[in-house]
A and B are shown apart, each in its own frame.
Chain A
Amino acid sequence: MTVTKAGHSDQPQRAPGPAAAAPASGGSPAALPGRQPWPYLALLIPPTGIPAVRKHLAARRAARTGDSFAARALAAEAATWSWYSAALAFTLLLVAFAVLFLTANDHAVIQKFFNPGVLRSSAPAVLRGFLVNVELFLIAEVLVLPWALFVACLRMLPGPASRPIRALGIGYVDLFRGLPAVVAIYLIAFGFPIAGLPVLGSMTGFELCVLALVLIYGAYVSEVFRAGLQSVHWSQAAAARSLGLSYVQTLRHVIAPQAIRRMIPPLLNDFIGLQKDTALVSFVGLLDAFNQSRIVASNEFNLSAVTGVGIAFVLITIPTARLVDRLTARDARRRQGSLA
């Protein structure tokens, strides 16, 4: 339309690349001040839309008075506010869909998934069941650590003499990482008693489930240990050995302390997986939270109790997840050297 009066027709005042792709709901890519009508769309989201339009108008005024420098700055600000509007609009749209989903069919979803009455009445049984899950994963997590360390050590034994032992370790890890957890639990918890094995056959269902979880997650965690120890550069070991430290001293004072920091985030990730997988024991008849809630669900023809179990699992993994985030961020900072 019009060229700015500053006369910079050879330099169209465009905002940086991505702004050009701004969604229509959001607003202006803030090209030539005084030409773009898009910022007005941002008014659909007043808190960010009003500043967007005001900056846009100011940019136009500045362009008219010939202050192209200020015009560009203001146009850039207008674009920023427009982007805020676009992001907010997008978020609100999705929230609206979610609300629509929950309230559709005369609040059917809320009724069947979040019925307060059912949630309340099933809570005691579900929480009692959840204690079984908590017990399962706490015991399994404690047992997994030494077991996985043992397996990792087997796989890291040096020298040609230990080749068969290493192969055994690889076979175990391959087997239990490949086997679906539910299949492993099924085979161990049902199979061992049926086979009438000594000791193993007389273990309780709970104990067999712990055993299955330890075997499955031992495979994952041993890989975490192995990768962690091997991630420490060999020159660190060379430096320690050159000072006269023995192999074990080197591992203990130099390699392990550096490796453990790197192992904790993936280790906690595996623990989150383990916590969730305790729900699988309901398939072998253990009365855990999921099993309790399924009984409620079939009696009441309402899934709210199962939703309650879901909420309990999510709540209990959130602290671990945040901890992983923080440790990962700390690690990243450390690698950049801004933290000692």
Chain B
Amino acid sequence: MSLEKKDEYDRRGWMETKELSPVEKGYLMTLMWLDKRLRVVDYLELLEDLYYKVNMQMPKSHTEQYNLDNKFWYWYPLYALGSFSTIAYVVAAISGALLGFYYSPAAAAASGDPTVAYESIAFIMTDLNFGYMLRSIHRWSAQVMVAAVFLHMLRVYFTGAYKEPRELNWIIGIVLISLTMVFGYSGYLLPWDQLAFWAGQIGVEMSLSIPLAGEWVAQLLFGGFTLTQATLQRMYILHVFFLPFITTALIAVHIGIVWMQGIAEPH
């Protein structure tokens, strides 16, 4: 008596009756392996069901909808600005992650001696192979992203693409541009050089001047009423952890809504 459990449905026998190429065989084996463990077939049935009920189709691209195939639509670059800003965001994210391997937000006394943060940036710029290029790419893609986002906002504004039913997307866009600027601001403070320090000083004064919650906001964002190590730490965590999650999620929602609603078109 072998201990091998007898296959209830004799799948192997079934597979042998068909003549399968090795690729097909490998595919089927993988599928059955996954199905046994994850009930993949249920999900496929669900999708099929949805397809016939909802008549799920790929949304038509511009050229399909508006019959633009043989025409050169010279406004197209303006409509590509949204995608462009997402590409720049991805480039900034990748280069930022790589920079994070070499940067450390530490020892932020502000006495005129270079701190560890400053030294790490100097190391990146001078000693690290292609370090200057990496930092340069990060800064430039960030600038380009802000510019693209702003121009995208202008395009949406002047083509009236924020009107019903796209108001929610407009508001999400406003939040996104504000988040982008906060991204830029927090990144600006990270090198802890003179420009960064005094820009941070202005930020603290701005938060302190908020009428009722001023001190709390200053404490939350800047870790105190003066610029210390706590400030640098908070800016780092904002820039590297907090903001990327929120921004990525919001970008996904923003693009998802555009996918569902379609692009507003000048008629």
A associates with B = no
- Which residues of A come within 8 Å of B, CB atoms? none
